[in-house]
Amino acid sequence: MSAALPDETGDAIHLDRIVKRFDGALALNHASLRVRRGTVHGLVGQNGAGKSTLIKLLAGLHQPDEGRIEIDGQAYDRLTPHRVEELGIHFIHQDRLLVPTFTVGEALFLGREPRITGTPFLDRRLMQRRASEILDDYFGVKLPNSALISELSTAEKQIVQITRALLDQPKVLVFDEPTAALVRREADILFRLIRRLRDEGVTIIYISHYLNEIEELCDTVTILRNGEDVATLPLGETSAAAIARLMVARDIADMFPKRSVTLGKDILSLDHLSSHGKYQDISLTLRRGEVLGLTGLLGSGAKDLIRTLFGLETATSGQIEIDGQPARSANPAQAVDRHLALVPEDRRGNGVALDLSVTENITLSSLKRFTRLGFLDFNGERSEADDLIRRLEIKASGRNALVRTLSGGNQQKVAIAKWLSRHSEVYLLDEPTVGVDIGSKVEIYNLIGDLAARGAGIIVLSSDLAELIGITDRILVLFRGSIIREFVSSRTSPDDVLAASTGSSEVLRHVG
Amino acid sequence: MSVDIQLAPVIHFEPGAQSFKPSRGGNLAASALRAGSLLAFVAILFVFSLTAPYFLSVGNIGNVLGQSAISGILAIGLTVVLIAGGSNVVTGGIDLSLAANMGLSAAVYATTVQLGYGDAAAVAAALVTGFLIGVVNAAAVVGAGIVPLLATLAVMNIVAGLELVLTQNTVIPASTPLLTALSSSGPLGIPALAYVLLVFTLIAAAIVQYTPAGLRLYAVGEFPDAARAAGLPVRRLVASAFIASGLCGGFAGVLSVSNLSGSTTGSGEMLLPVVVTALLGSVFSRRLVPTVIGTLLSTLFVGFLVNGFQLLNISSVLVSGVQGLLILLVVSATTLLRRQEA
Amino acid sequence: MTLQTSATAPSIPRAVIGVIVNNALVLALITVFAIFSLASPTFLTIANLQSILVNNFTLLAIVAIAMTFAVSVGGIDLSVGTAVDFASFAFVSLVLAGQPVAVAALAGLGAGAAVGAFNAVLISGIGISPFLATLGTLFIGRSIQQLLTNGGNPVYLPPSGIPEAFRFLGRGAIAGIPVPLILAAITILGATVILTRARFGRVALAIGIQTSVVRYSGIAARAHVAVAFILAGLIAAVAGLILSATVTVYIPSSGSAFLLNAIGATFIGTTLSRLGRPNIPGTVLGVLLLGIVANGLLLTGLNFYWQQVGTGLLIFAVLALSFITRRKASA
């Protein structure tokens, strides 16, 4: 590996005061990232802080609206993914870009296939041999030559993808949440590999939610918050606890319009609910008028729990009751009939139909109410849509505008309006403000408060902890499939919740 | 290749922990499906050979190969498009113009011969015809961005029309040394067309299954994002698949003239059987993807079926039903297996 | 984060493109109509226009509407021709066996719906993609017809034994309007109402646009897909009844002649509509476009075989233009 000459110093990457807007919403606000050659540089921030935008800019997938990108001291105007790769910068993505029906050797060498000397034919044997050599050498992993990518475990796929990048002798490797799907032992192997690569002169950018990993692995860390880089610190002088504090904004606390609602009777209760390999023994109750927060890292089981309630997954054991009636739903249709509502995280995929109009989206779930003898009552639909557009202050060119033309925040309001029209009573909101501008966020918080005041039960799943504390009454933290902590929102801080969800409570206690 | 990562092995999992677990459901199910299909193939051969002793003679096998040559080559052309277009037939790879392409190329060949040109010129004319049709398809799909199903449907109409214009819906007789050679018998008394099919399959398989370009076609079809991430020219590869398919149509056109001693109409009838044959071929591959050899096997499967029915005096109309049932069985099995895995 | 370019102020060329995109089909139809009116003196006569409707429009329109239902839920139905054939077979055979025409017609409709139901089981029940499922049905249907007819012999009704009601269905007229045309009009009207006014139509279109949202809204998407395919079979059966009543014979696998044109008309109507959604008026205009071109080319004295080339070129041009302008408009 010939990455950098030993005497060479300076920055491998310098993103300088980058500004990036999406549909008018500010994703990056003069954010900078300066990575020194031959170091492991951590990048942390809550969801929506701008990490992925920053990385996509570096990858040449987006272009900045303002600011400079310097690589090896040279400024680049328009980066393309291809150019970035030529410059020796490689990305290990969360979504593994490997062809499922390829063998490991084929996946590793796609695009630079070795040929049998003097022929136009693939040297499959060499591919297999090199593949097993490299995998064995770097990871001590032995995979049979015939193994297809689709047959590998998530960790094995990850290893193959890292190896693919290594074949290009990268100067900079960017890891995006690489351990999210790995067990501890596999993660340890990855860490040792990363250190070894650094010692060979490769520059590493490491993005993770697990602060203990950052603490363990990185030389320097940059903390992003609300699209700005709030600090860049050497790890020797900081701790996971200090990083956690920096990640969470405090100045926006007053944007949460907290209102007190008298809690009614139980509306939803889970009794020892388990799903094999996803979550275990979850018991909780939700009362009318209550806003319950749920949080946990990727793989904590929080998302699966929400999906189970809505009939998208099935639990292996345990009970769900709504208003005292058994309510384990086999499909979303059953769940919706039980007055459950899900506002999914993937808004544009599952929440709203982009090419249907605002009206068509709003009444999609409640069409039965607007049907007379099988035929649609257009007037009823129109007045319902107008009513909800007004109540939720949905900004659209009209009720017939395609939802595609709306901003993220207004799309989300449409997704919620659909359930208001259905008269739902238990709302499951999965990351309700991801990709939503600040103004719309506050409006959505208000809306959640309104719903609670009208006697609905609400579960908010969010990794934005300030938001979670601001709008909920209680917070349950899931870690590796179990509820490990419960907080009363008015008596906790984002640091505590973050510490609990990253499993680094002990660290915090030591630091004080 | 400069893959020189020469570092001392450092880290190892504890023994046993990393060993690959072969008990993965998907693999097993796929193997079962493939084994089942092959078994069905063999069983059918066996049953026919019991009831019709002549069935498994060299002569008859040669006949089947010869009779399957044209549809086999068309199906292989389609296979290339299926590989590069992916498994979704509506939005992905399909070439509905193949059969019409064969018809027009045959007509061009026969007409060129009628005009007094020799074999070389006529073959070149037929291949150029096929090539141009492929280029139009490629331009429509890659350039204009029309979904392949619609693009090739429109091209099919144009090509079929041009064939009618050229032939005035009549048979154009043609007789050349090449045609005589193609319709004669080769070594072992097996039709020359049988050898043509085998050689063509070998060449196609060598290119598709054993060159980097072939591997890249699979990547483009199955996971375009991965192909793009690997820096592959996705659009160019898809275009070349359509052009290859067009060339196959041109080649099949020449063969069809030899088979019928002239260009005849009605080539469009072959379209859907060829589509089914190519789609069925994927069950004969380990990874359940379209392959050249799989398509050959599937072509022969159908060929033997027709032949066996003829020998047993069963109406060959059952063949299309059997094909239909097979495709439904195969696809149901894969769908259900996948659902179980998920 | 998504890569969506912010909307820019519409410039003049963009506005022009917008008008063309939104009214492409009507514009194409007017253009073609004008060209043939100028090119051939006989084109713009009542007799010829009626001939277009009777010969080039009726049956294809009904089959294309059947196709439109399959396409509306994001699918495709390659077996519409099979449903036409099965309906025709049941109808002719039962009339031949001396059953009342009404009973035979109902049986015909049932046979078509059965083909649709078979598709529905494959698609909604097992989860096979509509293209492959209906392709299988097409092949099996072909064999079944051959078996039923001793290897593909047509089933003729003897001229003496044709009931009056049967004849009326194929060649009769009410107030001078041919019965098949009236049936086509009813089908068009009914289908339009179902697709735009009924709850089913709304859900079907939503499924075609974004299935997962429909599912996440608590609607049984699969059931709606099943109904769409059964409807497709049922509607195609209407064409089967008219076809056999017109020619007084059932010819095995003759319905497959409609397949490619039905696909063409449906997708022309879909891609050239303002919202890009499958819609009955669009399909009908698509059929009309194909019919006018076929008829017009015939009248201009162009070689019969050039007609097919012309039709193909026209469809190709329309598709290419629409896909390219759409790409420009969304860029």
A-chain residue closest to C2, CA distance:
A22
Interchain pair A140, B18: CB under 8 A:
yes
DSSP class per residue in B149-162: HHHHHHHHHHHHHH
Q: Residue written as tokens 């003069």?
A: A30
Cβ-nearest to A192 among B11, B24, B212? B11
Contacts of A367 in chain C (CB under 8 A): 199, 202-203, 219
Q: How far is B182 from chain C (nearest CA, A)?
A: 31
The residues near C198 (Cβ < 8 Å, ≥ 6 apart) are: A374, A375, A376
Give residues 130 to 149 of C whose Cβ lies within 8 Å of B. Answer: 130-133, 135-144, 146-147
Q: Which range among A403-417, B104-118, B261-275 shows the weakest confidence by mean pLDDT?
A: B261-275
Question: Which of C135, C143, C310 is facing B318, going by the closest CB pair?
Answer: C143
Inter-chain contact A101–B18, Cβ cutoff 8 Å?
no
CA atoms within 13 A on the CB side of A117: 1
Closest partner residue to C309 among B146, B165, B320, by Cβ?
B165
- Please tell me whether residue B39 adopts helix, strand or coil conformation: helix
Beta bridge partners of C177: C174
* Residue B161 Rama label (left phi>0; alpha psi -120 to 50; beta): alpha
DSSP letter for C157, please: P
In this structure, are residues C17 and C329 in contact, taking their beta carbons and an 8 Å threshold?
Answer: yes
Which is more confidently placed, B22 or A409?
Answer: A409
Residue A501's nearest CA partner among A484, A490, A493, A491 is: A484
Q: Which residue type does A175 have?
A: F
3-state secondary structure (DSSP) of residue A479 = strand
Q: How many CA atoms lie within 13 A of B39 on its CB side?
A: 6
Beta-carbon contacts below 8 Å between B and C: 150
* Residues of chain C contacting residue B142, judged by C-beta atoms under 8 Å apart: none
What are the start-end ranges of the H helices in chain C?
12-22, 24-39, 46-51, 58-72, 80-96, 101-120, 130-148, 164-171, 179-197, 199-216, 221-247, 259-271, 280-299, 304-330
Task: Please give the single-letter amino acid code of residue C95.
Answer: V
Contact residues, chain B, for C276 at CB < 8 Å: none
Q: Which residue of B has its CA nearest to A165?
A: B230
Q: What is the pLDDT of residues B124-151, one digit of tens each?
A: 999 999 999 999 999 999 988 888 888 8
Query: With an 8 Å Cβ cutoff, are A110 and B215 in contact?
Result: yes
Is residue B226 within 8 Å of residue B219, measured between CB atoms? yes
Spatial CB neighbours of C227, under 8 Å, sequence gap ≥ 6: C120, C200, C204
* Out of C129, C271, C306, closest to residue B161 by CB: C306
CB atoms < 10 A from the CB of C232, how many? 33
Structure tokens at A175: 């890891």
Contact A360 C206 (CB under 8 A): yes
Q: Which amino acid is at C215?
A: R
Give the pLDDT confidence of B213-234 residue by residue, as tens digits.
999 999 998 888 888 878 888 8
Cβ-defined contact of A332 to C215 (cutoff 8 Å): yes
CA–CA gap between residue B259 and residue C314 (Å, rounded)? 34
Q: Per the CB < 8 Å rule, is C144 touching B321? A: yes
Q: B42-90: per-residue pLDDT in tens?
A: 887 888 888 877 777 888 888 889 889 999 999 999 999 999 987 666 6
**Cβ-defined contact of C1 to A22 (cutoff 8 Å):** yes
Question: Where on the phi/psi map is residue B188: left (φ > 0), alpha (ψ -120 to 50), or beta?
Answer: left
User: Any CB–CB contact under 8 A between C76 and chain B?
Assistant: yes
Residues of A with CB under 8 A from a CB of C: 21-24, 27, 52-53, 56, 61-62, 331-333, 335-337, 342, 344, 348-356, 360-361, 364-365, 367-368, 370-371, 374-376, 402, 405, 418, 422, 435
B116 CB burial (10 A radius; 0-12, 13-18, 19+): exposed
Measure CB to CB from residue B11 to each of A110, A167, A189 and give the nearest one: A189
Neighbours of chain B (3+ CB pairs under 8 A): A, C
* B214: closest chain A residue by CA: A122
In the numeric block, which tokens belong to residue C63?
């089959």
pLDDT tens sequence across A195-221: 988 998 899 999 887 777 888 889 999
Among candidate residues C5, C9, C12, C22, the one with its CA nearest the CA of residue C331: C5
Q: What residues 437-496 of chain A have any CB closer than 8 A to a CB of chain B?
A: none
Task: Tell me whether residues C132 and B325 touch, CB distance under 8 A.
Answer: no
Q: Return all residues near A272 (Cβ < 8 A) that are at least 6 apart.
A: A281, A282, A283, A317, A318, A319
Alpha helices (H) in A76-229, listed in sequence order: 81-86, 104-109, 124-139, 154-167, 184-199, 211-217
Give the burial class of A281: count Cβ atoms within 10 A of its Cβ; 0-12 exposed, 13-18 middle, 19 or more buried.
middle
Chains that touch C (3 or more CB pairs under 8 A): A, B
Note the helical H segments in chain B: 25-51, 58-85, 98-114, 119-138, 148-167, 177-183, 192-210, 212-222, 224-229, 234-260, 271-280, 292-311, 318-341
Q: What is the ipTM of this complex?
A: 0.85
Output the six-digit token pair for B68. Answer: 């399957």
Please answer yes or no on whether C3 and A61 come within 8 Å at the CB atom.
yes
H or E segment to which residue A421 belongs = helix A408-421
Alpha-carbon span A214 to A44, nearest angstrom: 8
Q: Which of B268, B299, B277 is nearest to B99 (CA)?
A: B268
Is pLDDT larger for residue B4 or for residue A68?
A68
How many angstroms separate the CA atoms of A66 and B159, rounded?
53
> What is the mean pLDDT of each successive set of 10 residues along chain C, which is 331 residues long?
39 62 78 87 86 88 97 93 96 92 95 97 90 89 88 84 87 89 95 95 94 94 96 97 92 86 88 85 92 85 78 80 70 49
Q: At what angle do helices C221-247 and C58-72 cross, to 10 degrees?
A: 170
C130 neighbors C76 (Cβ within 8 angstroms)? yes
Three-state SS across A358-418? HHHHHCCCCHHHHEECCEECHHHHHHHHHHHHHHCCCCCCCCCCEHHHCCHHHHHHHHHHH
End-to-end CA distance of chain A: 43
User: Which tokens in the block code for residue C113?
Assistant: 């719906």
Q: What structural domains does chain A harbor?
A: 1-88+170-247 (3.40.50.300), 103-168 (no CATH), 257-339+425-512 (3.40.50.300), 350-423 (no CATH)
Residue among C209, C212, C218 whose CB faces A337 most closely: C218
- Cβ atoms of B332 and C122 within 8 Å: the answer is yes
**Amino acid C236: pLDDT:** 97
| Nearest-neighbour CA in chain C from A23: distance (Å) | 5
Task: Note whether C260 contacts B: Cβ–Cβ < 8 A.
Answer: yes
CB contact under 8 A, C151 and B169: no
Compute the C-alpha angle A440/A443/A445, nearest 5°: 110
Buried b (16+ CB within 10 A) or exposed e, B180-206: eebbeebeeebbbbbbbbeebbeebbe
Chain A residues within 8 A of C198 when measuring between CB atoms: 374-376
B13 vs A143: CB contact, 8 Å cut-off?
no
- Comparing alpha-carbon positions, the chain B residue that sits nearest to A137 is B9
The Cα of A249 is separated from the nearest Cα of chain B by a number of Å equal to: 36
Count CB neighbours of C186 within 10 A: 12
- Which domains, ranges and CATH numbers included, belong to chain C? 21-330 (1.10.3470)
When scoring A354, A376, A414 by the number of chain C Cβ atoms within 10 A, the one with the most, hence best to mutate, is A376
pLDDT at B1 (0 to 100): 33
* 8 Å CB contact between A132 and A163: no
The answer to whether the Cβ–Cβ distance between B328 and C303 falls below 8 Å is no
Task: Give the DSSP H/E element, type plus range, for residue A175.
Answer: strand A172-176
What is the reported pLDDT for B254?
Answer: 92
3-state SS, one letter per residue, for A454-472: CCCEEEEECCCHHHHHHHC
Indicate yes or no: CB of B223 within 8 angstroms of CB of A99.
yes
- Dump pLDDT digits (tens) for C280-290: 999 999 999 98
Asked whether residue B6 carries a pLDDT value surpassing 70, the answer given is no
What are the tokens at B117?
């040109």
CB contact (8 A) between residue B20 and residue A142: yes
Q: Best interface-test mutation with C: which of B95, B96, B101, B146 has the largest number of C CBs within 10 A?
A: B146
Give the helix/strand (H/E) hosting A477.
Answer: strand A474-479
Beta bridge partners of A325: A322
How far C330 CA lies from chain A's nearest CA (Å)? 12
Residues in chain A: 512
| C-alpha dihedral (A352, A353, A355, A359), degrees to nearest 10 | -70
For B153, the closest of C137, C263, C271 (CB atoms) is: C263
User: Can you list the residues of chain A whose pLDDT is less than 50?
Assistant: 1-8, 252, 506-512
Cross-chain residue pair A332–C216, CB shorter than 8 Å: yes
pTM of the model: 0.80
When the pLDDT of each residue in chain B is averaged and rounded to a whole number, the result is 81
Q: CB B157 to CB C308 under 8 A?
A: yes
Backbone angles phi, psi at A340, to 5 degrees: -90, 150
List CB contacts (< 8 A) between C213 and chain A. Answer: 349-353, 361, 364
